[in-house]
Chain A
């Protein structure tokens, strides 16, 4: 993956496939500590301890569970190669938490990339699910909730191209504001 934002898109698909009704995505930068945290937390069907181990193995795959494959191993590798960490915790019937910490000053740090495009894709392509996206840079925070947007849209689908454009532009501008106000 050329950007971490693509890993976020990929990992969030697992949450959607697991039937998560509310998925939280966090991207938090700490400029003093030179760390970046990416977290994806869902309330989907969850996994057994054995499945948690298996999905971290790139050579494990089953035909029936398509969500198992390269996604988690690639994300884990991207974090660990910077000297950061990766944790995957899950409970059947409760949900799954994926958390990766990156050292941003590592030469092996993959650029974060276009998170706004990732979030707008996730939110607008999954009308029936809800998402909360939190972007944090040191003390400053921006929160985007799909439920708030749906209230305004009043039945107009999020997948309408003009709506999708707005969502992406809004998230990207609000993120820029965070940087401007540092």
Chain B
């Protein structure tokens, strides 16, 4: 059973990691998931969950996940945008939980965008 004591332990661990990250001074990667009616209906919630689950599992600390409204390409939802400091934005379209896990491992952890899932590749 998950308990409030367990949350306290998670908090203490996270505090230590946040302090280490701040000392590092590096700007993190920002991952944004479209969560308007179009995104939600297309399956954005499991995508967001897969992203955070995979990041938690791998204990990745330099990536933050946030949500946004309608990105404007409803037919390509669920859409995930990756903002990496000093690099061009990468837009992933028609995402699934499986694709999201792959993006975490290959792009967010290893630094290699998964070209086949990007808007450029899908709309070609």
Interface residues of A (CB under 8 A from B): 1, 6, 9-10, 13, 17, 66, 69-71, 74, 114, 117-118, 121, 125, 149, 152-157, 159-166, 168-170, 173
Residue of B nearest to A1 (CB): B41
Residue of A nearest to B48 (CB): A121
What's the minimum C-beta distance from A110 to chain B, rounded to whole angstroms?
Answer: 12
Asked if B69 and A166 make an inter-chain contact with CB atoms under 8 angstroms apart, the answer reads no
B53 contact set on A, CB distance < 8 A: 161, 165
Q: State in angstroms the CA–CA spacing of A92 and B20 once bound together.
A: 46
Contact with A along B35-52 (1 / 0, CB 8 A): 111001100011011001
Asked if B8 and A152 make an inter-chain contact with CB atoms under 8 angstroms apart, the answer reads yes
Residue of A nearest to B57 (CB): A161
Asked if B37 and A121 make an inter-chain contact with CB atoms under 8 angstroms apart, the answer reads no
Residue of B nearest to A155 (CB): B15
Q: A6-B45, A17-B69, A117-B45 are in contact. Are A156 and B14 (CB under 8 A)?
A: yes
B65 contact set on A, CB distance < 8 A: 159, 161
Q: A156-B15, A159-B64 are in contact. Are A10 and B69 (CB under 8 A)?
A: no
Which interface class (under 10, 10 to 19, 20 to 34, 35 or more) fits B? 20 to 34
Can you identify 26 A-B contacts, CB atoms within 8 angstroms? A1-B40, A6-B41, A6-B45, A9-B35, A9-B40, A17-B69, A66-B70, A70-B37, A114-B45, A117-B45, A117-B46, A117-B49, A118-B45, A152-B4, A152-B7, A153-B7, A159-B64, A159-B66, A161-B53, A162-B10, A162-B14, A163-B7, A163-B14, A165-B56, A173-B1, A173-B2
Asked if A170 and B2 make an inter-chain contact with CB atoms under 8 angstroms apart, the answer reads yes
What's the minimum C-beta distance from B34 to chain A, rounded to whole angstroms?
Answer: 11
What's the minimum C-beta distance from A134 to chain B, rounded to whole angstroms?
Answer: 18
